[in-house]
Amino acid sequence: MEGEPLISMRGGIAADPARRLAAPADFCLRRGRHVAVTGRNGSGKSTLVKMVSGGLYLREGRVEYDFRCDGAHLYEAVRTVCFNDAYGTAESPYYYQQRWNSSDRGMSPSVGSLLEGAAAADEAWRGELYDLLGLRPLFGREIVTLSSGELRRYHIARALLTAPEVLILESPFIGLDPPTRELLCGVMELVAERLGVTFVLTMCSAAEVPRMVSEVYVMESMRCSGPVSVAAAVAAERAYGAGEPDAPLPAATHVTPRYERVVELRGASISYGARRIFDRLDWRVASGEAWNVTGRNGSGKSTLLSLVCADNPRAYALDMTLFDRRRGTGESIWDIKRHIGYLSPEMHRAFVDDVPAVEVVASGLFDAVGGGRRITEEQRAACLPWMEALGAGHLSERSFVRLSSGEQRLVLLARAFVKDPDLLILDEPFQGLDPVVRARAKRVVEAFCRRENKTLLFVTHYTSSLPSSINRTLRLGE
């Protein structure tokens, strides 16, 4: 019956000291009454939902479940979709650049085979869900070819097909364009009505909580509030203020040359099988310009940036110039990468090493993807000021994989800046950042762009996240 407790936790304390909240936590999810968990980066949102969903053992306190099916296994009744859900599967692990290497795509299963293999819902509902999420055109594609937004829709559908009683979505809207965000809200409401699924959403901003949510738990400094209204959660968020004062940007380490053509594409066309990404694209970027590269999910934004960053071997077949040198005239990919600072969702997924965060930042000095390389004191000294400028200095010695997703994104943003690049390429850089951290990071990008001859390529689905330095727009998919 709607309103009856579905999951109840009282006095919960995690057994793992490294994942423990600052105070015992209470939580109640009632059937049919959807809940959001909001709070700043590193405030304990993911820890709380892991405690109530059985992902963390409790040292003290108790969690009680009241599922419809007697004897239902917890894993079957409660499903979680996390931001870190990636392209890889147990049968087909993912590595950075696999998405662009067509020769390795045969290792990746198709979207259709993975969805049909997970399906438990009745056939009529399954077909309706595929149509609602626009998944049928993706069926024949390998999972590794999906854009960040397409991948999110796939993971949500896969979880819904198992017909759980509770579906936990961590940061459900990041990486989605505005129409897809509206679509997902409608799908969640329909799923709740049709299948009786109750949702728990974790979000960095209470202002983005969808209308279906009944109450909010606000996390602050690893403490969980009691349930409050959405309006009260928004008011609490406004009370955060501006955060710590900005730290100065580190001094420039070199003089950035003025390039006539930082990037130039002439009649560029990219296709994968019968799927055309873009056709006869002409695009020229000069030093000092700041571009917003925009378009719907799947329009080719990440593909375009992979060509510029020398991650995509298709670049060799194009009429393309980078840093006033025609592509394919003897330069190595490292000659190109030394000019570029880069952050993307694909890159985020590739960092899985249990190393101090400062080593992840340092990997940007030598364009390595992944940590674990021993760094010198000089390299450490180059990293820390950028972490301080972004408000991440306190994370420097913490394990990267133990950080929250938002904290990881902030560390990778410092990595993009660390070598004072000529060209800064940021693909959804503020995904998962809370409003205070996002505003600070935006100011850092703007200050960096005020340096002479610095060039920016910036992708976001949130116009409020666009730096004030943006002075050009490339709209793909039209």
Domain limits of the chain? 5-238, 263-475
| Cα–Cα dist 139/126, whole Å | 13
Of the segments 123-127, 139-143, 257-261, 459-463, which one has the largest average pLDDT value?
A: 257-261
Q: What is the pLDDT of residues 366-413, one digit of tens each?
A: 988 876 678 899 999 999 999 999 999 999 999 999 998 899 999 999
| Cα–Cα dist 96/342, whole Å | 13
* pTM of the predicted model as reported, rounded to 2 decimal places: 0.87
Query: Among 79-83, 277-281, 439-443, which stretch is predicted with the lowest mean pLDDT?
Result: 79-83
Tell me the torsion sign for CA atoms 360, 363, 368, 374. negative
Q: Which residues of 57-91 are buried (b: 16+ CB within 10 A; e: fewer)?
A: ebeeeebebebeeeeeeeeebbbbbebebbbbeee
Q: Which of 426, 419, 249 is nearest to 342 (CA)?
A: 426
Q: What is the pLDDT of residues 69-107, one digit of tens each?
A: 655 567 788 988 885 544 444 444 555 555 656 544 456
Report whether pLDDT(460) > 70.
yes
Tell me the torsion sign for CA atoms 201, 203, 208, 209. positive
Mean pLDDT, residues 271-299: 88
| Cα–Cα dist 449/470, whole Å | 9
| Cα–Cα dist 323/306, whole Å | 16
| Cα–Cα dist 426/279, whole Å | 23
The CATH classification number of 263-475 equals: 3.40.50.300
Q: Do domains 5-238 and 263-475 have the same CATH topology?
A: yes
Joined together, the tokens standing for residue 4 give: 């009856």
Strand intervals (E) in 137-208: 166-170, 198-203
Q: What is the pLDDT of residues 30-44, one digit of tens each?
A: 999 999 999 999 999
Instruction: Burial-class residue 6 by CB neighbours within 10 Å (0-12, 13-18, 19+).
Output: buried
| Cα–Cα dist 105/144, whole Å | 7
Structure confidence at residue 91 (pLDDT): 41
Query: For all residues of the chain together, what is the average pLDDT?
Result: 87
Structure confidence at residue 85 (pLDDT): 45
Report whether pLDDT(352) > 60.
yes
Q: What is the pLDDT of residues 155-196, one digit of tens each?
A: 888 888 877 899 999 988 887 888 888 888 988 898 898 888
* CATH T-level fold of 5-238: Rossmann fold (3.40.50)
Q: Between the CA of residue 48 and those of 9, 24, 43, 202, 323, what are the distances in Å?
A: 10, 10, 10, 10, 48
Report whether pLDDT(435) > 70.
yes
Joined together, the tokens standing for residue 460 give: 């976001």
